[in-house]
Each structure stands twice: as C-alpha cells, then as structure tokens.
Amino acid sequence: MARSLGDLDFFGLEEFLAPEERLARDTVRAFVEREVAPVIERHFAEGTFAMELVPRMGELGLFGANLTGYGCAGMSNVAYGLMMQELEAGDSGLRSFASVQSSLAMYAIYAFGSEEQKRRFLPEMAQGRLIGCFGLTEPDHGSDPAGMETRARRDGDGWVVNGVKRWITNGTVADVAVLWARTDDGLRGFLVEKGRRGFSTHDIQGKFSMRASITSELVFDDVRVEESERLPQAAGLKAPLSCLTQARYGIAWGAIGAARACYLCALDYTKARRQFSRPLAGYQLVQAKLVDMLTGITNAQLIALRLGQLKDRGQMRPEQVSFAKRYNVVVALEAARAARDLLGANGIVNDYPVIRHMLNLETVNTYEGTHNIHTLALGRAITGLAAFD
C-alpha cells in the first residue's frame, strides 16, 4: 500500500496538541500502519473481525483511555479523539470496536455502575480481556429508543428480561452486554454476562459495509438478572443517551481518519497516474475535487479539536456533538465517494483502501444517530421547536 495515513494538517493544528496527545496519536498511528494495515483488507473481504488485535490494543491502553482510575490511562478527551482518528484511518470497524468497548460499555459502567461493578469489569475491559457491547437499538426502534419493547420485570429480589436488540456491534464476542430495558419504574440498565440461560446472540449476515466488524442480534428469552447486576445510577433514557454522546464524540474524530486516508490515497494516485498529456492531478476537474476534500476534512479537524477542548473543560453540549458527528461524517463520506471516483476502476478494488472506507462510512453516517436525526436535534436546539415527537 502506498502512503495512506500520513499527516494532513493544513492549518497547523499540531501546535494546539499537548506533547502526550501527540505521542498517543503517534503510538496509535504506528500500531495501525504496522499491525492493522497489513491484515485489514483480508478481514474485510472475509467478513471477519480482527480479534487478534484486541489484546494488542489492550496492552497499548487504548480502551477507556479517557477514563480515570480502574486501570484506565486517564488521558485527555483530545488524546482520545486523536486515537479514534488514527484507528479509523485503519478501518471504521476497528474504531467501532474501540468506541463500543470504551465509550458505550466501559463508560456506562464507569458513569452508572456500582463500585463493585467498576472494580470487577473496568480493569479487565481496559486490558481487552473482557469485551463489552451495548444493547439499546431494537429491530423496530432505532432513532426512537423511547419506544423500546424490551422489558425487565421484577421477579423476587431480581429481574426477568424479555426482548430483542439488533445492530449491536461486538454482540457475539462480548463477555458482558450493557442492556437497556423498560421497567415499571422507567428505563433501567443491566449487565448481562455471556452464557446466561435464555440469552443468545447471532451475527447479522450479508453486510456490504463494516465487514471487518461484528454486528449482532441479542435475544433475551426469560433471562434472569440479579439486582446486583443492575446499573444502580442509571434511571431513564438520559443514561444511555449520555453514553451515545460519548461515542458520537469519538465518531466525530474517527471519520476524519477515514477521510484523510481516502484523500491522501486519491492525491497520490492522481499525481502518479497520467492520462492524455499529464497527471490526472493536473486537470481542473480533479483539482476541484481534491480541494473540496481538503476543505471538508480541514473543517472537520477544526470542529473536532474545538469540541475536544470544550469536552476537556466540561463545557461540551450534546447539540455540539450532534453538529460534529453530523458534519464530520458526511464530509468524510463525500470525500470517500470523491476519492472512489478519482481512482476510476481502481477505486472499486481492494488494492486501495478507498472503497472499503467508502462502504464503511455509509454505516457511520447511519449509526449513533442518523444524519437526519442529528439535523432534527440541531433544528430543535436552535429554534426551540421539536420537529419530531
């Protein structure tokens, strides 16, 4: 593979990064170049997740890196964002794994778990020895989680859960599922471990996107869960939504990585390939596309960095995360499509990473709040009028 990851820093944002933030980024970049890039096309082609990379990511301290204590690295949110960017320059599926492990599963336990739950799960999850997933979305309730049908009813001193969760990243490989279910007291969160009687999982087949990532369905058929397995601090839909805000923050950064990989690939390709009398990059139509890509990616970088600064100060608002997720992902998707076009026939084969990123980004555009839903969230934030129920 030619250069696919290098730097793209048109506005000199490097100087706003602390030394340890740069180092963390460089560590993940080196890991992706040396250990992810050589295997990722095969995993995508075969539709398998690169499980062999999980212990390595654990060793490097990638999981829950912006959490403090319980064996987590305690890095800044900017550093965490940079890591997500570098992982997604490798593959959106790998970044999805890290997002779900860190921002959804670990964060849910970190924010809403009991001391005992935190001590038991977080250090093992930080090391990648335990894998988590996050069960919120259902077959009939995606953008509308409030309509969820999965129920947990009281049963003596515990609970019994029934329901189906779908589109769950890491579902079949997870050791523990963070499960959200409706109860008589409102929405509650539970930790359901693999192998529990009545709890089954299977993978969703036939994906054309995120093929190097596991996407599953979780089925709960009279599953008994103890009260000690309930997340005691989580009450209402606010709890899972706050986890999604964490994950979306990482996605806003991650998308930049995939877009950058596509842009650099297209730049190299069009400079090297000659048609008629000159390199492709010497044509105005091609330059216009490259410049639009550069502009979009640079805007996305500025947004992500500012968002990270706000998050590190505790001032980030959810609508700002909606803004960043919505804009950065669509910019990345457009950049990937433009790169696909510029590579011509080579843009549809896996000799180049572009088609893989492009297909993956279709998922990134949809999950964690679709582009449309974030539009509505922003519309409500600026008008005070909700355009949805």
Partner 1 sequence: MKILVPIKRVPDPATTIRVLADGSGIATDNVKWVINPFDEIAVEEALRVKEKQPASEVVVVAVGEPAWQEQLRTALAMGADRAVLVRISPPVDTGAVARILARVAADEKPDLIILGKQAIDDDSNQIGQMLAELLGWPQATFASKVELADGRCTVVREVDGGLETLSFPLPGVITTDLRLNEPRYASLPGIMKARKKELKEIPVETLGLNLAPLLKVRRLASPSKRQAGRKVASAAELVSLLHSEAKVL
Binding site for partner 1 (CB under 8 A): 6-7, 19-20, 23-24, 26-27, 30-31, 59-62, 65, 73-75, 79, 83
Q: Which is nearer to partner 1, 32 or 177 (CB)?
A: 32
Q: Which residue in 213, 193, 269, 197 sits closest to 97, CA to CA?
A: 213
3-state secondary structure of 185: coil
Q: Which of 88, 124, 229, 368 is catalytic?
A: 368
**Minimum distance of partner 1 from residue 6's CB (angstroms):** 7
Residues in a beta bridge with 178: 134, 191
Phi and psi (nearest 5°) for 347? -75, -5
**Minimum distance of partner 1 from residue 74's CB (angstroms):** 6
Q: Which is nearer to partner 1, 58 or 171 (CB)?
A: 58
- Dihedral of CA 279/291/334/365: which sign? positive
Q: Which is nearer to partner 1, 63 or 220 (CB)?
A: 63
**Minimum distance of partner 1 from residue 269's CB (angstroms):** 18
3-state secondary structure of 25: helix
**Minimum distance of partner 1 from residue 383's CB (angstroms):** 41
**Minimum distance of partner 1 from residue 102's CB (angstroms):** 11
Q: Which is nearer to partner 1, 7 or 389 (CB)?
A: 7
Q: Which is nearer to partner 1, 32 or 251 (CB)?
A: 32
The burial class, CB within 10 Å (0-12 / 13-18 / 19+), for 185 is exposed
Taking the C-alpha atoms of residue 51 and residue 369, their distance in angstroms, rounded to an integer, is 27
Q: Which is nearer to partner 1, 72 or 239 (CB)?
A: 72
The burial class, CB within 10 Å (0-12 / 13-18 / 19+), for 142 is middle
Per the CB < 8 A criterion, the answer to whether 154 and 230 are in contact is no
Taking the C-alpha atoms of residue 72 and residue 56, their distance in angstroms, rounded to an integer, is 15
- In eight-state DSSP terms, residue 360 is H
Report how far Cα 88 is from the mean position of its chain's Cα atoms.
9
Helices (H), ranges, the chain: 19-31, 37-46, 53-59, 77-90, 92-99, 107-112, 115-126, 238-272, 284-312, 318-342, 354-366, 371-383
Taking the C-alpha atoms of residue 359 and residue 105, their distance in angstroms, rounded to an integer, is 25
Q: Which is nearer to partner 1, 79 or 335 (CB)?
A: 79
Active site residue 124: no
**Minimum distance of partner 1 from residue 98's CB (angstroms):** 12
- In eight-state DSSP terms, residue 192 is E
- Placement of tokens 């994906």 in the chain: 207
Taking the C-alpha atoms of residue 176 and residue 156, their distance in angstroms, rounded to an integer, is 23
**Minimum distance of partner 1 from residue 92's CB (angstroms):** 21
Contacts of residue 185, defined as CB under 8 A and 6 or more positions apart, other chains included, come to 235
Q: Which is nearer to partner 1, 74 or 145 (CB)?
A: 74
**Minimum distance of partner 1 from residue 62's CB (angstroms):** 7
Residues with catalytic annotation?
A: 368
